[in-house]
Amino acid sequence: MPRLTSDVQACEAHATDTELDDLRARLAAARLPEAETVHRAAPGPHRWDQGVPLADLVEVVDYWRTGYDWRSFEERLNRVGQFRTTIDDLGIHFLHRRSARADATPLLLTHGWPDSMARFIDVVDELADPDDADAPAFHVVVPSLPGFGYSDKPATTGWGTEKIAVAWVELMERLGYSEFVAHGGDWGGNITTVLAGRFPAHVLGIHTTFAEGPPGLTMDGLTAAERKWAEETDDFWRHRAAYAKQQATRPQTIGYSLVDSPVGLLAWILDKFAEWTDTEDSPFERISRDRILDNVTLYWLTRTGASSARIYYESHNSLDPGLRVDVPAAITMYPRDVEKCPRPWAQERYRRIVRWTEPEAGGHFPSLEVPGYFVNDLREGLAAVLAAHR
């Protein structure tokens, strides 16, 4: 257990029975639209062309109301170890799982949107205390982003990725970790990049599933596969990123629906799990209903549909064009992720790439989709990072 001070306090998650009864009542009373009108109704990705299919949503809503057990997830969080601290007048919630190993390295894991600390719940124990004595071990810290989960909701503007990175360094120092390694994907990958670029005295190295080269790079010299990556990423931002534009410009407006309607919240989040995972028809091919509902229920109970969306308002397209990462970096590009950066572009920002991996399976949420591979890849990547740092 970490040394508790007045700055860091242990806490536990516990929703009231009234809150859970209210959720079930709202689910039972939900008003749903008619079914989608798509040309191909057979199993396949085209069923989702207009968003979450009605039949799929009805099935998940029914399970959420009658079969899902939130208490089980609460118990898992409490077993890992939950804590809060206040940084720059904002309460920050985090998981902290110390390893029993004397040679363990502090590891900061940062989630993104539309996920949460639930992104890493299945891998924390294995990272902290691996079965293989030869595998590296880590003291694992998983903070909830400002406005997400049990962290406080910012009441003013300014909590963008740069400020979050500053807060994460302060958080790790309060836990006695003046040097650490970091991993992230989605916004977590962006924040991990900022951490590595701004705080090389604290960050030993990084592993990320997110890489973004400086703007203005051309496709000259890219392989055919790398050109396809760039074209697919461009297509995503041109034609499939309405959610990001909405949250970057009008997060308050969509926030009313996300905080008031559990079905609306579920559909908004489930749509991204469906589109961004390495599946052919449904996200449940790789991620269980329980795990997705753990994530959605956390958003619901903490009323963070609006506050979490504001990270787009604060930080969309804000990564400093001049930021460079000189600490060792391990980068993994999963095949069905929505943004895949060609290595020549990545090398313009991450100037000490010590390991580059392109797995055969996995999408935007690899710790949930392919947890076994994710853990091994993270270990090997961070081992390479640490070896390069020495």
CA distances from 215 to 121, 318, 322, 323 (A): 34, 11, 9, 11
Whether residue 207 has pLDDT greater than 50: yes
- Provide the pLDDT for residue 38: 87
- Provide the pLDDT for residue 6: 64
- Provide the pLDDT for residue 73: 98
Per-residue pLDDT tens digits for 59-110: 999 999 999 999 999 999 999 999 999 999 999 999 999 999 999 999 999 9
- DSSP assignment of 81-135 equals -EEEEEETTEEEEEEEE--S-TT-EEEEEE--SS--GGGGTTTHHHHHS-SSTTS
Which of the four pLDDT bands, split at 50, 70 and 90, describes residue 1? very low
- Provide the pLDDT for residue 2: 45
Average pLDDT, integer, range 216-231:
95
- For the chain, domains (ranges, CATH) are 8-389 (3.40.50.1820)
Per-residue pLDDT tens digits for 292-351: 999 999 999 999 999 999 999 999 999 999 999 999 999 999 999 999 999 999 999 999
| Full-model pTM | 0.96
Per-residue pLDDT tens digits for 250-296: 999 999 999 999 999 999 999 999 999 999 999 999 999 999 999 99
Per-residue pLDDT tens digits for 107-129: 999 999 999 999 999 999 999 99
Distance CA 166, CA 202 (A): 11
Angle between helices 305-315 and 242-249 (to 10 degrees): 90
Average pLDDT, integer, range 22-31:
98
- Provide the pLDDT for residue 41: 66
Per-residue pLDDT tens digits for 142-189: 999 999 999 999 999 999 999 999 999 999 999 999 999 999 999 999
Closest CA to 325 of 218, 231, 229, 213: 213
- Provide the pLDDT for residue 44: 78
For 183, half-sphere exposure in the C-beta direction (CA atoms, 13 angstrom radius) is 32
